Amino acid sequence: MTALRRLPAGLAHPFSPAGRSDPYPAYDWLRANDPVHFDVTSRMWLLTAHEHCASALKDPRFSAALGQRERVRDDDLPASMLTTDPPEHNRLRGPGMALLGPAAVRELAAGIAAVVDGLLDGLADAAEVTRDLGEPFATGVLARTLLVPREDEAAFADLARRASVNLDPLAGPQAAREGRVAMGELTRFLDAHVARGPGGSIGRLAADERLTRPEMLGILSLAVVGGWRPLAEMVGNALFWLLPRPEALAALREGGDDLARTAVDELLRLEAPIPFTARVTTAEVSFGDAAIPAGARVLAVVAAANRDPAVFDRPGDLVLTRSPNPHLAFGAGTHFCLGAPLVRQAGALLLRGLAERFPAIRPDGAPPAWAPVLVPRRLSEFRIRLS
């Protein structure tokens, strides 16, 4: 192990209450001075350079399955693509493509467009971004994806909201207990929904003989838990960057579908709702002079990697036309987010629709503040006015 280094005095640790609101000064210092950093506070290795994070996400010596077992919480997540390594991961991922792969998203395109149009039609002039826009957006997109009937959407949204605590690896005991209960209720909801034979991609997934029923339900549950809260918070995170920049909103209005999808990637690069990914090493791994031992807990801090000046020109700026954009907000390697096509499609429709319909959209009231939480990266309160 290399000599231990600590953050300079006066620089908030990124996991501390102050650092959670603005972790980027600490990330920048670590990336520049100690990119393979053993953090004595969390007893974890923090990778902050794009090169090292991308390598860890692709290298089989960094185990996702063991990473999930190292959660602070004492409950195990169900077996899924998130909690397994190849070849088991690959066995589950193949059927998952029926639900969230590019062909499935193309099949859903008209339905997602209708969800976005209906949401924008119903907006009041003054709105709170997450409550009035982000959460209904996430609910509508995932309900359409899973073919949840409209009369069941309110119950589905409540379950998705309560189960989303399972995203946080540092959730406290009470939150963890509530998350376990919500996950059980969500699984039973999805089981009953599948039993009604909704057809489409859900029917194809349910009929896939490569999966047991618990595995099939695990894929559906992962789509909800891994998708609902990040989709909801992506909206506020994106508008935080867009609304103070009229030129960016004008570009979205005029740039067409391709620019809108490129913009989604750039906005996710700047503010990824999921800022890091946990792994555990199965063998010693060296990055230059730094050696990470076998059995070490590692965080690939993608929020830091996504602002690495060695990879991104003007890393702290919003560049809607940035291409290529090798950000890691969707992960990398075998665990690259299966829902990426859905996020790009739905996010592009929503952001472009907001820019086109509401050219005077602007912040309203007090400036938005970042919530002092780790996962997901989100705003506490963000009020906007549309006209």
CB 259 within 8 A of CB 321: yes
Give the pair of three-digit tokens for residue 241: 């960057």
> Helix 173-195 crosses helix 213-225 at what angle (to 10 degrees)?
120
Using CA atoms, how far residue 272 sits from 48, 199, 277, 374, in Å, is 14, 33, 12, 11
What's the pTM value of the predicted model, to 2 decimals?
A: 0.93
Sign of the Cα pseudo-torsion (225, 102, 305, 129, in order): negative
Residue in the block written with tokens 């620019």: 259
- The contacts of residue 361 (CB under 8 Å, 6+ apart) are 243, 249, 354, 355, 384, 385, 386
CA Rg value for the chain? 20
Cβ-in-10-Å burial (0-12, 13-18, 19+) of 124 comes to exposed
pLDDT digits (tens, 9 = 90+) for 53-100: 999 999 999 999 887 655 444 445 555 677 788 888 888 888 888 889
- The contacts of residue 260 (CB under 8 Å, 6+ apart) are 252, 348, 349, 351, 352
pLDDT digits (tens, 9 = 90+) for 117-150: 999 999 999 999 999 999 999 999 999 999 999 9
Residue in the block written with tokens 């929020």: 303
Superfamily of domain 78-273+309-356: Cytochrome P450 (1.10.630.10)
Domain ranges of the chain: 78-273+309-356
Residue in the block written with tokens 């959407």: 153
Closest-CA residue to 229 (of 144, 148, 166): 166
Mean pLDDT of 307-326: 97
What is the reported pLDDT for 254?
A: 94
Phi, psi of 216 (to 5 degrees): -60, -45
* Alpha carbon distance 190, 182 (integer Å): 12
Residue in the block written with tokens 């959670």: 20
Containing H/E element for 10? none
Give the residue with greater pLDDT, 98 vs 52.
52
Q: Does 381 have pLDDT greater than 70?
A: yes
pLDDT digits (tens, 9 = 90+) for 318-365: 999 999 999 999 999 999 999 999 999 999 999 999 999 999 999 998
Q: Mean pLDDT lowest for which of 28-42, 67-81, 299-313?
A: 67-81
